[in-house]
Structure 1
Amino acid sequence: MRLRPLANFLPLRPRSRCSNRLLAQLPRLAAILLLLLLLSACSRSVNLQAGLSDGDANEIVLVLNRKGISVEKQKSKEGVTLIVKEDDLSRATETMNEAGLPRRNLSNLGEVFKKQGMISTPMEERIRYIHGLSEELESTLQQFDHVISARVHVVLPERIAPGEPIQPSSAAVFVKYRAPLDEDMVMPRIRKLVASSIPGLSSEEGRAKVSVVMMPGEVPTAGIEWTTLGPFVVAVSSVRALGLTLLGLVLLVLLGGGWLAFLHVQRNPKLMLMIARLAMRKAKSVDPTEPTTTKATAAPTSPAPAAATAMAGKAGQGKS
């Protein structure tokens, strides 16, 4: 039975110039899309800041992450190095400048007048005493509820020049807090605590020389957590939606490419017939029910026995 080409059963449609152009441009468009994805994923990384402390590095990372900038930390002997993508360098630098980061490292009195020799001058001993007293007061003030940080500057009684009156003690207190905190109730307690801890300020007049500044801290806003999905930086809450969208686009491209390929094959009978023949050959090669035929080779007969048999027959006929 002779098989008819499979293409004869399919309706042939006239070729469209638009579809032919689209089929010709499809590989080029796919290559351009793949190249763009590779270029976006292979963005070069650069150093943003180096030699930072852990506290400063964490503060910078927190601020940049809120702006959707991905930062990588690397620790070394010199400190912490922050690394960002080259495309985000200008935006990260601008964000840091707006936030005043990194903060300038300032030396306190304890570091400036650190004891190094065997003998210290009276002024050095006095400064160390003031520094230790200020740190103790700061630690005590931070025990208050809702207090974020506190700074205390103490001025002890001192005679500026011989013959002049002694300058009385005074103190300046800075408190940064978060709501809820009642300033009218907390401020008198802070003033009383500081005045009672510094010599010469325990009286009513001394308490008046303690100035207290209360500053509310910035209300922390819910920051957006960012993550990477391939070459894209997206919010954590949008990862699932973006993944499903990309998956749908990939499936759509595959279906569209398959449909265009089917149309192209359908409009080419020779190609359709070639595919049908290849499919039939493959089906025959893997079909286990088809019996295998083996060709038996007959052994050749030698001419000598045949000639002897013929001569014996002729001799019998002569005798008869």
Structure 2
Amino acid sequence: MLRLPRLAGAATAALALGALAAAPAASGEPIVSAPRIVAHFDLAAGQTPENIALEPDGSADLTFAFARQVAHVTRFGQVSVRATLPAEPHPNTPLIGSAIVSGIARAHDGTLYVAYATGTSRTGIWRIAPDGRAPRQIAQLPPDGLPNGLALDEHRGVLYAADSVRGVVWRVPQAGGRPTVWAGGPALAPLPPPAAGFGANGIKVRHDAVWVTNTDRGTLLRIPVRADGSAGAAATRARGLGGIDDFAFVGRDETVLAALNTDSELVVVRPDGSHRVVLRREDGLSNPTSVAVRHHTVYVPSAAYFTLSDPNLLLARLSTRQGRGL
């Protein structure tokens, strides 16, 4: 979810955060079509959509990274602010400098959880209650880290946060409390300079595993969750995904749609690790940061971190080669 040059005209700095298979879609493979932008955002106001969670009615909750906000966007493009994280007077966020809101996850009761990185004691996981109360920090994470992607496992009552700088996955009780390092190692770590320095980034829970992207390494990883809740060995499921940010699963197998931030592309990543571009900048993508899927609809927020043009929310139709919705 994050990478960075500087945002021209914005109050803060910008963030970003298998071989390519050129073959056509196989039978039953997801088809993404009819892309349309439903909402345009204000780059100068820091409205850089970093991550997304969907509501039951198909509307979306987006984190506006540099505005420190969580915004609600209807399917028709109406935008309202749900919450603003507290200002940090002396931010010192690694790689970025500015305070940013990154990952978001939604519980079934409507509670939202977001990752907030400031380089201070405010760095951590914050809860936003559905009744409109002010956001509250429920867990502190090290100020020298960068919590990025966020995933919720309500069955186990835990949140997983991908730390792009420390190259680890944190595990935090959903009710709040002390975080622990759940997974680490070279597969999650960033690369040394001159690489951008973003390791573990996007994250999702899928059955009995946690899936994580590594932006510097261009990989998609699967980490099993053992019976006692501890992490198994990380396995690389796809390579060659340059600039990968966050992703979403499609259907019942391990097919995913992934946002390639720097190239402004959306790709389908097959279970065998190969991938194919399904949307490009010409379709309206402008440094996409994350993906969500609901029934026959794909949601792709773009933050314009590098293009510096048209941060937006794009919707597209999801079907298969036979024309059936997923």
The question of a shared fold, defined as TM-score above 0.5 by the shorter chain, is answered with no
Determine which structure has the larger strand proportion and give its number: 2
TM-score w.r.t. the length of structure 1 is 0.18
* Structure having the larger proportion of residues in helix: 1
In the superposition, the TM-score normalised over structure 2's length comes to 0.18
